[in-house]
Amino acid sequence: MESTVKITAAEVNKLRQATGAGMMDCKKALVEAGGDFDKAIEVLRKKGQKVAEKRADRESSEGAAVAKVNADQTKGVAIVLGCETDFVGKNENFLKLANQLGELALNFDSKDAFLASDFDGMTVADKLVEQTGVIGEKLDINAFEVIEAPYVGSYVHINKIAALVGLSAKVDNAETLVKDAAMQVASMGATTLSYKDFDPAYIASETEARIAVIEKDNEELARLGKTLKNVPKYISMAQLTPEVLAQAEEDAKSELKAEGKPEQIWDRILPGKMERFISDNTTLDQEQCLLDQKFIKDEKKTVAEYVKTYGDVEISGFKRASVG
């Protein structure tokens, strides 16, 4: 029966365009389906299911990150289409699929709704299964992040990190501000907006852990006769109460007095000392809080200070999705 079915090159090409499958796989599927196009798609889908079942325990730790923003720039989505190897993750057709899925994802607020949505006559979930059969690697949506704000922008770093940033208002040159902020999110990996978002218990446990690490490092440095690292008492601005800052200022004045510095020049020296004290005792904020990080394009400013240069606007939120 199969040998009597005549399959044309045009039919094979049509199936390739629809599924992305290889020429021989498409021809075999059409032969098996007796030339029926829809049945041939089903044949390929079943092949994909078999491949997907075999590769279910594989890690889809490579892939592509994409970010999309709607036309009026009030909503953005970032997704990661995962695969097993970097070779596939850089493939032109794979990147095309990732971008198509990103555009579709803009219409949804959750990963589940997105996976259940229609993609060329099948669900996104089924499309992933189909393409698993085509590509031969497990495909999955490893990240799905959405943000809505009066103004939203994005940045994607070499298809590996996608960042979204929302602003509280659209201001002059908002596109520059939002892109710079998204680049900051992508490159510096903040986990929260401000130190005010931290739970006190988390700060306490993190302080204890960080001090323990530095003290252990200092034991080795002392053994080698090298300069010891400063052991901070604090790691977040949340701990620097007015009383703590007042005491730090008194300690700084005592140092200046002990150094024999004339009291009339203390006012010129104290701001720098206090700035250094705050910097030394807010390491957690500088690592994890977007607004408290040093701005990558001008390390003399924090991100919060940079945002202020644009007037009456704030960063209302951000999202980050990365491969691996």
Q: Report, as an integer, the average pLDDT of 251-275.
A: 91
**pLDDT of 3 strictly over 60:** no
What is the third-level CATH fold of 2-54? Helicase, Ruva Protein; domain 3 (1.10.8)
Rounded to an integer, the average pLDDT of 49-67 is 77
- % of the chain surpassing 90 pLDDT: 66
Mean residue pLDDT across the chain: 90
Rounded-to-integer distance, Cα 102 and Cα 113, Å = 14
Per-residue pLDDT of 186-235, as tens digits, reads: 999 899 999 999 999 999 999 999 999 999 999 999 999 999 988 889 99
Model confidence pLDDT, tens digit, residues 120-141: 888 999 889 888 877 788 899 9
Closest alpha carbon to 321 in 67, 147, 60, 58: 67
pLDDT-derived band at 1, boundaries 50, 70, 90: very low
The residue extents of the domains of the chain are: 2-54, 62-194, 196-318
- Select the CATH number that applies to the domain covering 62-194 from these four: 3.40.190.10, 3.90.650.10, 3.40.50.800, 3.30.479.20: 3.30.479.20
Whether 17 and 27 have beta carbons less than 8 Å apart is answered as no
Q: Specify the pTM.
A: 0.76
Domains 2-54 and 62-194 fall in the same CATH topology = no
Q: Which pLDDT score, from 0 to 100, does residue 2 have?
A: 42
In DSSP notation, 110-131 reads SHHHHHTSEETTEEHHHHHHHH
Beta-carbon count within 10 A of 130 CB: 28
